[in-house]
Structure 1
Amino acid sequence: MSIIYLLIPIAIILASIAIWAFFWSVNSGQFDDLESPAHKILYDDDDDLIPNDAKKGSVHETGHNDNAGRDGG
């Protein structure tokens, strides 16, 4: 029975920490927009990962295309 005197204050402390964490997250905007993060994965944002010279079709600083004038053989 004496363990109750220890468990009740621990439970009250844990509950108050959980309530504080909930109100802190609501006030800091954690629950403002629930839809946008799910839709962000659909956007094509791979352009930042591609190097600049690869976007230009292998045109180097000289302005010549690597594939120009090749027979393919």
Structure 2
Amino acid sequence: MSVIYLLLSLSILVAIVFFVAFIVSVKKGQYDDAYTPSVRMLFDDELVNEEQLNQPR
């Protein structure tokens, strides 16, 4: 029975560590990129076209 208490407390501790790491990354601006997703599809076509032009025929 004591193993269950040990594993439960250890899992709660790990969850708290991951939650704190997530909060720190959000506060540092890790997820603030709002521009790139809106134009990513425009850049993908250019990369495909450049790769096709560089391939020998």
Output the TM-score relative to the length of structure 1: 0.46
Structure 1 stretches of 4+ with a deviation exceeding 3 A read 37-40
1:26 aligns with 2:14: no
Q: Which has the higher contact order (CA 8 A, sep 6+)?
A: 2
Bigger Rg, which one: 1
For residues 6-60 of structure 1, give each alpha carbon's deviation from its aligned partner in whole angstroms, at most 9, with x where no partner exists: 10110111011011011001000000014427857x77xxxxxxxxxxxxxxxxx
Higher share of residues assigned helix: 2
Give unpaired runs (5+ residues) of structure 1.
Answer: 44-73
Output the TM-score relative to the length of structure 2: 0.56
- Aligned-residue sequence identity (percent) comes to 43
Indicate the RMSD between aligned Cα atoms, in angstroms.
Answer: 2.4
